Structure 1
Amino acid sequence: MRHVLLIDGNNIGYASMYVPALSRLAHHGQPTGGVMGLAQSVMRISSLYPGAVPVVLWDGHAAWRKSLCPEYKANRKDTPEKVAVADSWRQQQPLASTLLLHMGVIQMRAVDAEADDLAGRLCLNEAPAAHGIDRVTMISGDTDWWQALSPGVDWFTPITDKPMSLEMLRTAAAKDGPFAGPDEYLLAKAVAGDPSDNIPGVPGVGMATALKLLRLHGGLEGIQQAVDQGHAKDKKSVAIAAMIPAIERNLHIMDWRKAPELRPGNTGVMREDFDAPACQTFCDDLGLHRLSERLAGDASWDCAAQSWALSPTMDFCVAAC
């Protein structure tokens, strides 16, 4: 089976900076905990899915989202601690990318798109099957990625080791669920807003209430009609009806299918063969001696890299560019 792991590089690396032991890791003044955390996560995830090919997706700058919602992700720097963490990870991200290159991991980045947008291009519209990929597992702590769940696409967060599939989304295993499917989940989230990305929703309306009212009235148009005709007089339905333009804006920001097309020449895919000596030298230069020993002295990563179906995976990634 040809199985691809789409790994949200910034999401996993940034989360590593909140692990106490990693947040304090540094060498000659250079923070290194994010490099260590992401590399270890990629190795652990690969061991959980033997034979699956890891592809790390990186964020570019999706300025169009900021244009639609000026406060988008502004909460990432609203305290001195968050600013320090963001700055630390920004210093480490190029180092993490270099190490992954030495480790033989495929990486993909678009100048004007986020990792989410790349995942959308790779997962939606039958893209995996069209390139001979049997299964895609999205690796991220971001539940926005649930919108791409399908029979051949599932999700896993290494932060809490929780999986999600299309079948699970339709059960109580999904937080605030069950949901009829990804579209219903996405619409409810557009109504409720997304605090993690600082996207404001309808005040006082959470996911559960949004879901209840959307189902009761048959979607946003149904809520609007019920309010206009006086059938829905409760405050939350009235609030939703009053904010439909903002909800539609939220949906535009969140829905990967609404993202601008990737511009030719702005997206790149890179990979080099696994190079154990280069990994050892690079890790030693950063004071990451334990990681150096694992990559250079343990044959397990070499065996994993040798098992990857690289050609179809590279074709799959390049086709999305």
Structure 2
Amino acid sequence: MNYLFVDGNSLGYYHQKSDKLYNGEMEVQAAFGFVKNVRRYASILHARPMILWDGFSDKRRDFYPDYKANRDNDPDIKKMKEGFAIQKPYILKMMTALGVTQLIAKDAEADDLAGLLVSSIAPQPIVEHIYLLTGDSDWLQLVRENVSWVSLREDAKNKQVNFEQFAELTGFATPRAFLEAKALQGDNSDNISGVGGIGAGGAKELLHEWGSVATMVRGINDGSIVVNKGRHKTAFNKLAKNAFNEKTGCRMLEAFKRNITLMNLIETKFPPTEIETIKGNRDVKAFEQLCYELNFRSFLEDLEVFVLPFERYC
């Protein structure tokens, strides 16, 4: 059995930002694109779709108050989210009527739910492959032998990243190395500062040369590794000595460890403790009525054909 884990908010926001589509005065492009693409990827990948939704959680912000603080007052993001929120109830209903099960991490993020599910479901003998449909590169750390990352973006440089091609496509030998590189650099989109002095190039060099931050730090401190040349020699030595970085206002190793805690999805420190399950309950008539309500005529032109992938895989 193949699974398609869909990052619900990521897919919804992506289509909400696409060309406007209206039913009367109501924007409906998010709902239209969401349903269309869940169908598309379930069909292409021969996989059972499951939608993962964010709940509400301040766990990461309690741990790191600056987390996502840059999004709070962005008027464009606020407007986009408001437009999507109006359509979300329709998406929930349409997915249910198509037989798609949805999981809501009531007190966590969909990222943490994805990590939890990959850890628990991927090893099961009946699971052939899991596909992660998202626009979030953080989910790349979840790639395994039977887990692939699929970009929802049509213009993505790498549309799909599997375990065999991970190093070739990402530049990092392992998903763990990818995570450590992100922790070194920080993440501007989530307002997480890096360790300071080590950007994308430096992170890639460090992980390529030593495989992990721990190996380099241990080697420099016990004398088995000497870094006395190269563009990043000063930053690497300062990292190993846990030097204070004036720009970030934090010691470098402490910032790295903090970022690993914030970013690690496989061993998340912020797991959902309450997961709401909305079981799929196939009802073609209910789906048809919702399509009429939203004026999704292209879905209705050959409804039997449109619902076929859901009947086959859900």
**In the superposition, relative to structure 1, how do residues 124 and 272 fare at CA in structure 2: closer, same or farther (>3 Å)?**
closer
- Give the letter aligned to residue 120 of structure 1: G
Indicate the residue corresponding to 1:180 in structure 2: 173
Q: Do 1:217 and 1:223's aligned partners in 2 also have CA atoms closer than 8 Å? A: no
TM-score, normalised by the number of residues in structure 1: 0.83
**In the superposition, relative to structure 1, how do residues 275 and 211 fare at CA in structure 2: closer, same or farther (>3 Å)?**
same
1:300 aligns with 2:305: yes
Indicate the residue corresponding to 1:43 in structure 2: 39
Work out which of the residue numbers 154, 164, 168 in structure 1 matches 2:165: 168
What fraction of aligned residue pairs are identical, expressed as a percent? 28
- Give the letter aligned to residue 244 of structure 1: L
Q: Do 1:214 and 1:223's aligned partners in 2 also have CA atoms closer than 8 Å? A: no
Residues in 1 aligned to 2:259 and 2:309: alpha-carbon distance in whole angstroms:
41
**In the superposition, relative to structure 1, how do residues 91 and 77 fare at CA in structure 2: closer, same or farther (>3 Å)?**
farther
- Give the letter aligned to residue 235 of structure 1: T
Shift of 1:184: 0.8
Residues in 1 aligned to 2:69 and 2:84: alpha-carbon distance in whole angstroms:
17
Work out which of the residue numbers 134, 148, 161 in structure 1 matches 2:128: 134
Matched length = 294
Name the Cα RMSD after superposition.
2.4
Indicate the residue corresponding to 2:249 in structure 1: none
- 1:164-217 Cα shifts (integer Å, max 9, x gaps): 01111121x22xx0x221111111110011222222113342233112124445
1:9 aligns with 2:8: yes
Residues in 1 aligned to 2:123 and 2:219: alpha-carbon distance in whole angstroms:
40
Secondary structure of 1:54's counterpart equals strand
Q: Do 2:220 and 2:226's aligned partners in 1 also have CA atoms closer than 8 Å? A: yes
1:275 aligns with 2:271: no
- From the two aligned structures, give the one with the greater helix fraction: 1
- Give the letter aligned to residue 285 of structure 1: E
Indicate the residue corresponding to 2:246 in structure 1: none
Residues in 2 aligned to 1:276 and 1:217: alpha-carbon distance in whole angstroms:
55
Indicate the residue corresponding to 1:113 in structure 2: 108
Secondary structure of 2:103's counterpart equals strand
Residues 1-321 of structure 1: pairs in structure 2 closer than 5 A: 2-19=1-18, 21=19, 24-50=20-46, 52-124=47-119, 127-130=121-124, 132-160=126-154, 162-171=159-168, 173-174=169-170, 177=171, 179-216=172-209, 219-221=212-214, 222-223=216-217, 226=220, 231-232=226-227, 234-238=233-237, 240=239, 241-242=242-243, 243-256=252-265, 257-263=267-273, 266-291=274-299, 293-294=300-301, 297-308=302-313, 310=314
- 1:111-160 Cα shifts (integer Å, max 9, x gaps): 112111111111125x3332621111111111111111111111111213
Secondary structure of 2:165's counterpart equals helix
Secondary structure of 1:109's counterpart equals strand
**In the superposition, relative to structure 1, how do residues 27 and 298 fare at CA in structure 2: closer, same or farther (>3 Å)?**
closer
Q: Do 2:109 and 2:272's aligned partners in 1 also have CA atoms closer than 8 Å? A: no
- 1:63-118 Cα shifts (integer Å, max 9, x gaps): 21111222222333443222211221222222211111112111111211211111
Q: Do 2:197 and 2:235's aligned partners in 1 also have CA atoms closer than 8 Å? A: yes
Secondary structure of 1:200's counterpart equals coil
Unaligned runs of 5+ in 2: 244-251
Indicate the residue corresponding to 1:319 in structure 2: none
Unaligned runs of 5+ in 1: 311-321
Residues in 1 aligned to 2:24 and 2:181: alpha-carbon distance in whole angstroms:
48
- 1:206-247 Cα shifts (integer Å, max 9, x gaps): 233112124445643433763797954733225534311111
- Give the letter aligned to residue 303 of structure 1: L
